[in-house]
Amino acid sequence: MRWKPLKKNNIPFVVLDRPNPIGGLKVEGPVLEPEHASFVGLYPIPLRHGMTAGELAKLFNKEFHINADVTVIKMKNWKRSMTFDDTKLPFVLPSPNMPTVDSTFVYPATGLIEGTNVSEGRGTTKPFELIGAPYINSSELADHLNKLKLKGVQFRPVSFTPTFSKHAGTLSHGVQLYVTDRSSFEAVKTGLSIIKAIHDLYPNDFEFLQTGSFDKLIGNGWMKEEINKGTSVKHMMKRYHHDLKTFKRNEKNISSIKITKKKKIYQRMEVFS
């Protein structure tokens, strides 16, 4: 993290907090295992953590013993139930390949595709909303995924030709994700379901990249092995359920959870001191 040299030189670190674009209520996916820490995932938190930049700064500084002089400037009028659209703020790209709020919602799902030989839509106008490969039958895959009745999402068969990245200049076939209900959409479950579907439908063509990037993205080494063995998504989710549940309940990590009875929604207490 950038603040480690600041700690070494006794320089204060100030974070101007920003909304989590996909909201602050949902926490999903496996908790990163320390031996798989990397640039894309450094600390043991879930794939979808539901925290803001300021909350993460406080969490990392305290729980992972950085102990720098960190100050977080809190936001005004932000609620955990808000998505970025609710803030009415102009959307600034957090990454060149994340151009819209829609792309931020599907990223915890299709970002995992980066660790495979399937295009995650880089080189198109809909990165992470489009996924595909030359060997996929788009109608077959869309039908298969829609039959799973995954919450808050529908799949449309598409064909596209990426201008760069995987399969650049080659016609690819796959699906476009339409998130129809952001509150019920289970991004990580959806991502695992897509990868398992392609693995099962096209076993002679689908591959995990040899770079080990999938393990870094998912935060462990066992998930890839389970997919290759044909394990169900439900079983894989059960395997990480305990760690995820522990993270949710650990007040040291993400603060306590309370119910706001008036609005009947779950809200986590602010972690700012």
Q: What does the block give as tokens for 67?
A: 């102990």
For the chain, 273 residues long, give each residue's pLDDT as a single digit of tens: 567 788 888 899 899 999 999 999 999 999 999 999 998 999 999 999 999 999 999 988 888 888 899 999 999 999 999 999 999 999 999 999 999 999 999 999 999 999 999 999 999 999 999 999 999 999 999 999 999 999 999 999 999 999 999 999 999 999 999 999 999 999 999 999 999 999 999 999 999 999 989 999 999 999 999 999 999 999 999 999 999 988 887 644 444 333 233 333 233 334 433
What pLDDT, on the 0 to 100 scale, is given for residue 247?
85
Are 157 and 142 within 8 A, CB to CB?
Answer: yes
Task: Write down the pTM of the prediction.
Answer: 0.89
- Six-digit token pair at 231? 């394990």
Could you give the angle at the alpha carbon of 70 between the alpha carbons of 259 and 48, nearest 5°?
Answer: 45
* Same structural domain, 227 and 98: yes
Q: How far apart are the first and last CA of the chain?
A: 21
105 and 61, same structural domain?
no
Say whether both 103 and 181 belong to one domain: yes
Whether residues 176 and 52 fall in one domain = no
State how many domains the chain has: 2
Same domain assignment for residues 81 and 16: yes
- Would you say residue 205 lies in a domain? yes
Say how far apart CA 216 and CA 227 lie, in whole Å: 16
> Residues for the chain: how many in total?
273
Residue 13 inside a domain? The answer is: yes
One domain, residues 72 and 191: no
Cα separation of 213 and 104, whole Å?
20
- For 108, phi and psi rounded to 5 degrees? -65, -15
Q: Which domain holds residue 27?
A: 1-92+241-273
**Residue 269: per-residue pLDDT:** 36
**pLDDT of amino acid 1:** 56
Phi and psi dihedrals of 105, rounded to 5?
-70, -35
Please report the beta strands in 32-152, taking only residues with DSSP state E, as ranges in sequence order.
46-48, 70-73, 130-133
